[in-house]
Structure 1
Amino acid sequence: MRSARTLQEMPVITEEKKLRKSAVLEAPKKVIIKEAALPEPKAGEVCIKLEGSGVCASNIPVWEGRDWFEYPVEPGNPGHEGWGVIDAVGEGVKTLKEGDRVTALTYNAYATHDIAKEESVVKLPEFLDGKAFPGEPLGCAMNIFSRSDIRKGQTVAIVGSGFLGSLLIQLAKSEGARVIAISRREFSLQTAKEAGADEIVKMDDHYQIIEKVKELTNGNFCERVIECTGKEWPLNLSIELTGERGKLIVAGFHQDGMRSLNVQMLNWRGIDMISAHERDPQKYIQGIKDAIEAVREGKMDPFPFFTHTFSLDQMEQAYHHLTERPDGFIKAIITTN
């Protein structure tokens, strides 16, 4: 007869810890993949099993490196365009449940999971099932469009026809505006045309662009100009393209220092210069809700602009595409499946 095993010999059964896989910027232009225990959502929070995240141009400084950044950055950061399915709900959450497909404002979305506050989450309707939906940049486009106050019959110049510029072309056209798209890359100009731009102008020679837009507008220039590049020269160009008592909307993310601007022209023409960047999270949430409705109504179709898809393990390649912008590139998506 075999003797019973001692307590020390008995197998110990423990609850298996869920792991989160994250891309980590260990140093400028160096990404590693790390696994760590998945945190539980706290009161008022949910955990989202991410399907993916968009890659934003605002990531470029931390990818390239600046003196004021510390490395390694937090796992999953600076990803902030995630969407996915809720797989855990914290205490006190009332409007969300496990299994809801959502997009959210989170800040570590280059990962398999991220934590979000209940009030920072937007449910996705069934018509978006199976579709990538990075809510934050789409909400940003809607908020910029709202601040632009575009009306039927106006002439609108969009300076920079990347992802944001292409969305704004669609939205301006949905309002009945005439759109002039100005961009550097031939592929971007073609994309702008496909998005509905009435006129396309190559962003090359400063004064030739001004003369071309002057000719297209019978010398009046544009009632609205939206600058989407985040660069000094196109911002000054945008001032020159804005007509008297027009509005210049700064949508580009200016992140690399001071700007010298043609304030004389701003004053002379009485131009309203508007920064369209929001800081209230609930403004972004409302923008995301507005974006869902714009897609539902056919006013905005972002899906053709998701031109490149990378896995989490290919994060460095995604960053290289973001900075180098090869032909055919508009917007990269990171998937976690």
Structure 2
Amino acid sequence: MTSPVMRAAVVTAPGRVELVHIPVPSTGVGQVRVRLEGCGVCASNLAPWAGPDWMRFPTAPGALGHEGWGIVDEVGEGVDAIRIGQRVATLSHNSYAEFDVAEQSAVVPLPDALARAPFPGEPLGCAMNIFLRSEILPGQTVCIIGIGFLGALLTRLASEAGARVIAISRRDSSLALARRFGATETIRMDEHFHIIDTVNALTGGHLCERVIEAVGKQWPLDLAGELTAERGRLILAGYHQDGPRQVNMQLWNWRGLDVVNAHERDPTSYADGTARAVDAVVAGRFDPSPLYTHDFPLDRLGEALDMTRDHPEGFVKALIRLS
């Protein structure tokens, strides 16, 4: 009998992707197999896509894709919490493909209320975990630097929590998105000292109790420290993947800042955050659907990655649609 095959994307060189046909993977003990409906495209893919010295090609089939969702179609021995036919978000890592296999603990069930809605669980769970670690309270002023997918969600969560949100971003469409998601004030990310002066004026010289840096570059990190109030909390949500950073330790020290690296690496925390995101969307705390601005089939993954890199006006997040 011929084994069933699936399509999967392989990055063969910097900026080059090909589709291959390979056997559909089977489950092991404690694993589930998901027939994927789609996968979000993450900015963390961009460094491997560019081909730095540490990157090795070709990638494994489906590799880099880690924001999948779909239908469980096979369960391995010992799986007792997930059933065949159940719709789930996956926290697996080869989801630029038609099927992926994950540990039972790395899939999060999606309720009927989310039927047919795309659900890239990993970034939604990241937003919930960052919000939790930010410890935002009613009446605080929260500055969010960088309004993309993550920044917009955090704007909504912070404003819903009763905070006053100042959003800083460089594009008109991003600033409009921040206002739509609850920002009280928006500032164009153009000139360092102008931004500091503006935030000073908006806060009566007190600056911001919470600052979330959601860009992942040196200048936004510098700016974040300058905008954080004494004894405030600076939260690193941006993905810093292009080498070492310098920080103004004198400033951080003098102001007594709490600095939180909000990137989780514990698989349980990822799953918990994704489950909280499911609950939040069902409850209407936020609606991520306006943020899914571009859809691509699997054979156009390269275009999706290029668009994620280039960020044309109006772009927020790309999804790869598999069914």
Query: Do structure 1's residue 84 and structure 2's residue 35 form an aligned pair?
Result: no
Query: Do structure 1's residue 250 and structure 2's residue 216 form an aligned pair?
Result: no
Query: Structure 1 unaligned runs (5+)?
Result: 1-14
Residue 289 of structure 1 corresponds to 275
Give the drift of 1:172.
0.2
Matches of 1:87 and 1:143 in 2, distance apart? 29
Matches of 2:190 and 2:314 in 1, distance apart? 20
Residue 198 of structure 1 corresponds to 184
Q: Equivalent residue of 2:7, what SS? A: strand
Residue 11 of structure 1 corresponds to none
Q: Equivalent residue of 2:247, what SS? A: coil
Matches of 1:210 and 1:155 in 2, distance apart? 14
Residue 19 of structure 2 corresponds to 33
Query: Do structure 1's residue 232 and structure 2's residue 233 form an aligned pair?
Result: no
Query: Do structure 1's residue 151 and structure 2's residue 137 form an aligned pair?
Result: yes
Say which one has the larger Rg.
1
% identical aligned pairs: 51
Query: Do structure 1's residue 298 and structure 2's residue 298 form an aligned pair?
Result: no
Tell me the alpha carbon deviations over residues 117-148 of structure 1, each in whole angstroms, 9 at most, x when there is no partner.
11111110010001000000000000000000
Which residue among 79, 82, 87 is the counterpart of 1:93?
79
Residue 208 of structure 2 corresponds to 222
Query: Structure 2 unaligned runs (5+)?
Result: none
Residue 273 of structure 1 corresponds to 259
TM-score by length of structure 1 reads 0.95
Matches of 2:246 and 2:32 in 1, distance apart? 44
Matches of 1:307 and 1:65 in 2, distance apart? 26
Matches of 2:32 and 2:4 in 1, distance apart? 15
Aligned length: 323
Matches of 2:265 and 2:74 in 1, distance apart? 28
Q: Which stretches of structure 1, 4 residues or longer, exceed 2 Å deviation after superposition?
A: none
Residue 213 of structure 1 corresponds to 199
Give the drift of 1:16.
3.4
Matches of 1:298 and 1:156 in 2, distance apart? 22
The two structures, once aligned, show a CA RMSD in angstroms of 0.7
Residue 50 of structure 2 corresponds to 64
State whether residues 14 and 51 of structure 2, in contact with CA within 8 Å, keep that contact through their aligned partners in structure 1: yes
Matches of 1:97 and 1:20 in 2, distance apart? 22
Give the drift of 1:268.
1.1
Residue 9 of structure 1 corresponds to none
Residue 301 of structure 2 corresponds to 315
Q: How does 1:97-112 map to 2 (within 5 A)?
A: 97-112=83-98
Matches of 1:24 and 1:336 in 2, distance apart? 15
Tell me the alpha carbon deviations over residues 259-302 of structure 1, each in whole angstroms, 9 at most, x when there is no partner.
11111110111111110011110001000011011112222211
Query: Do structure 1's residue 264 and structure 2's residue 250 form an aligned pair?
Result: yes
Give the drift of 1:310.
0.4
